Structure 1
Amino acid sequence: MINRILSKIGLIILKKSYFKKNYKLKNVFSPLDQLFYKTLHPDFFFVQIGANDGVSFDPIFDLVTSEKVKGIAIEPVPDIFSNLVANYRNYPNVKLLNVAIHKDQKEMKLYRVDPQKKGYPDWTRGTPSFNKSHHKLSKIPESDIVELIVDCISLEELIETHSIKKIDLLQIDTEGYDFEIIKMIDFSKINPTIISFEHGMRQGIMQMSQFVECQNLLFQNDYNIIILENDAIAYKLNK
């Protein structure tokens, strides 16, 4: 039924496993890809919060680089940020910031899997979190977690400092802080056309009650929502 409803606006939902190979079949795109191309225009602008190295497990790198759109990618962890800089070196339209987004603090502790520890899968490299307990969800022992202090700015500061007038795509992946960032959006001033974020309810990253609260906030601001296995996409196609 969901696919039938979405097909009326030209969207389809595909299982994540469909995209395990490193290619896409002609004319077949994920829901985020489809919304990106429906929204794409010459002045398209994105903000990515929690950009990791720009490539690993990144849903928008191929879109950004193939279409050479403008935007800002944010990653607070210094060594990961260095890789982000390297991966975006040929794309001057993308501004890179080595900070975290936080509602009211200028510095925060981030907890990450110790990069010196061997034997962990690649995805653990991209899971630094403000919440130390976040890593318990992945059954990573506390002895393998290290902390670092990172600089922070608020979403409002980001928007004001960089004179952002509109956001076509807001991509968020902050290991448990996504809803807090969505709550920072002043919808009376700026309405991202697409907001893509991680809910991770199956893993316990976001509780069902939090997701319902997040969903209601987005509904109140006239967003439609597509819920995927680990992520959700809120969008406005009538802007």
Structure 2
Amino acid sequence: MNKTVDLNCDMGEAYGAYLIGDDAAMMEIISTANVACGFHAGDPVVMRNTILAAKGKGVSIGAHPSFMDLYGFGRRKIIGDKPEDLEAQLIYQIAAIDGMARALGWPISHMKTHGALGNMAAEDTEMAEICVRAVAAVNPELVVVALPYSQIMKAAEKAGLPVVCEVYADRTYTAKGMLTPRSQDGAVIKDPNQSVDQALAMVRDGYIPTTTGEKLPVDAGSICVHGDTPGAVETARNLRKAFENEGISIAPFAKV
């Protein structure tokens, strides 16, 4: 099969003395890293080290902003009184990673929302438009990484921003093409073999398998493995091997 797909991971999610995920091992496998911006995880030192590690491996990087939620790892819904306040927070985060990356000679290529923010922006039109405006304010050439069938994909396309369709190897999907809420059993796929089967269905066969049996058409440009999912490195390694066995090349969706 003559096909190329990006393999991405959410990274730089350590904070101070707290370590999350095996970033060093994951950098050997992936083609793109989404770097936490300090609001759900990460700090200036972690950001710098993650960017330098990516640069050393030729891994493309992007901003991974979230709600201001260190305590909840960005996975709690936080709805403020003013939409412009959230927009300011997102601009702040994207600009922070953008500035650090430029200083280190490895500019960012994209923006991907994290956690609850990403889930809300997938289904809520206003939230999606806020995220897209923040990206455009910092750099309208940044690619918006978005779920298929999502409001943020529609908002980015409407605004004329470049978009790449992302799917997940380690999360299950609802009949609407949205991620199964983490509060529900089976939302996170912990079996590496199941992750590989789902990934091949989406990338090779062009459909998303849902928890209710539907097969939703998809043209996946990037596939994600969460760095904090148990067995994440093994899953990513198995994915890469499975893709290569199918003749599917792994490469960043954006030029490094």
Based on CA coordinates, which of the two structures has the bigger radius of gyration? 1
* TM surpasses 0.5: no
> What is the TM-score of this pair, normalised by structure 1?
0.35
Q: Which has the higher contact order (CA 8 A, sep 6+)?
A: 2
Would you tell me which structure has more helix in proportion to its own residues?
Answer: 2
